[in-house]
Amino acid sequence: MAELVGNVLVGQSGGPTAVINSSLAGIVSEALNHECIEEIYGSLNGVLGILNEDLIDLAAESQQAIRGLRHTPGAALGTCRYKLKKQQDFDRVIEIFKAHNIRYFFYIGGNDSQDTADKISKLAQQQGHELRVIGVPKTIDNDLTVTDHCPGYGSTIKYLATSLRELACDNEAMGQGDLVSIVEVMGRSAGWIAAGAALAKRRDHPHDAPHIILLPEIPFNQEKFLEDVRRVLKRERYCQVVVAEGLTDGDGNYVAADGATDAFGHAQLGGAGEFLSEVIANNLPGVKARVAKPGLMQRAAAHLASKTDSDEAFLAGQKAVQAAINGETDVMVTLVRGETDQYTCETSLTPLSDIANGVKKLPREWINEDGISMNFQFLRYAQPLIQGEVQPPFDNGVPSFSHFGRQRVDKTLAAYEG
């Protein structure tokens, strides 16, 4: 295939992770190695930056800033949850690509983002603009199809398992057989994050916290939940419950949703912990319920990021560039687990159309028959993903993170009125 000469554009989309910037570092570092790539641009705030022609010169950033991305949380380019809706939006994207000779587009994001990337690529083909589009996976929810796991997930469950162990020490000190400690975690459609709480248990200590894990894959049954809580409190000084925000009832309805939706039509969730607290207050006299919500800290805790996760995120960015240079397009980089006993991870490529808008559920066979705990199959899957620590530099006692200078690329088109 003939060499494609032109510029790179990178965007980040959706909720950030502790390692999303590692993928960005992988893309920039690898792109600098190829002479056919002339300029490396970043789009500020995902597709919004493209529409508004808000681009920065990533090659102008210092190597120290690029290296620093590997221990910096958030999205260094800024992100968005904007959905390209109108044909006018898509036409504007291609217009920007033509104006800045964008021939390589890398979009770091989840399933909605991969759908966007797929549509942009198809329109470029229709308009005769040669463009290679590669998706780079990102989501703490770990629910992208095809890929074994997603960059961002390992760091999230490492942070969660650590926090739950710490909280268990506090609960043990405060409980007198009358305390239910409820932790609500992210996870709209799949229980991967909540399941990761099982890593807080010590080996060969089945009664360790968390005692109850409630997943979207298992419909909530109030009577069973209350009986499970009673059983734990008879044995322990406290009962620690982890619940996914996407917990549903027997009819498939969220137990806690406020009726609002985001740009992609997803229900706004939050309140599953409070829901369980009310169930306990109304049915278990004398039992205190306390609710904690790690919230955005689950995806921002770079100080406790998994080195395995960070390294794989960087690798995904590198492989995206290599794939594009080799002529690939309309694919997402996927992570493939080795088949040996010792954990290894390689990459592959999957069509964007196979990723877009799909959801990978937690396998039922990884959940114990009790419906509230995870078995060895899940632990064998998840344990390797949290290994190793990223060591950020510290400044005056707190972590020091990387910040871009953001040298702007000159705008060439009229402001977008869409």
Instruction: Give whole-number Cα distances, 86 to 14, 80, 82, 126, 269, in Å.
Output: 20, 17, 12, 16, 27
Beta bridge partner(s), residue 292: 183
Task: Tell me if 337 is assigned to a ligand binding site.
Answer: no
Instruction: Give whole-number Cα distances, 166 to 169, 200, 293, in Å.
Output: 5, 9, 14
Q: What distance in Å separates the CA atoms of residue 384 and residue 343, rounded to the nearest whole number?
A: 7
Task: Tell me if 187 is assigned to a ligand binding site.
Answer: yes
Which of 114, 62, 123, 118 lies closest to 92, judged by CA?
123
Q: What distance in Å separates the CA atoms of residue 391 and residue 399, rounded to the nearest whole number?
A: 9
Question: How many C-beta atoms surround the C-beta of residue 115 within 10 A?
Answer: 21
Instruction: Report yes or no: 410 and 60 within 8 Å, Cβ to Cβ.
Output: no
Task: Tell me if 368 is assigned to a ligand binding site.
Answer: no
Task: Tell me if 358 is assigned to a ligand binding site.
Answer: no
Task: Tell me if 245 is assigned to a ligand binding site.
Answer: yes
User: Which residues are CB-neighbours of 417 under 8 A, at least 6 positions away?
Assistant: none
**Catalytic annotation present for 141:** yes
Task: Tell me if 139 is assigned to a ligand binding site.
Answer: yes
Give the ranges where 175-265 is alpha helix by DSSP (H).
192-196, 222-235
Instruction: Report yes or no: 192 and 141 within 8 Å, Cβ to Cβ.
Output: yes
Which of 6, 100, 4 lies closest to 49, judged by CA?
100
Structure tokens at 151: 């960059």
Task: Tell me if 15 is assigned to a ligand binding site.
Answer: yes
Q: Helix, strand, or coil here: 211?
A: coil
Catalytic residue among 89, 115, 141, 143: 141
Going by the annotation, the residues of the binding site are 15, 111, 139-141, 186-188, 245
Going by the annotation, the residues of the binding site for Mg(2+) are 111
**Residues with a known catalytic role:** 141
Going by the annotation, the residues of the binding site for substrate are 139-141, 186-188, 245
Going by the annotation, the residues of the binding site for diphosphate are 15
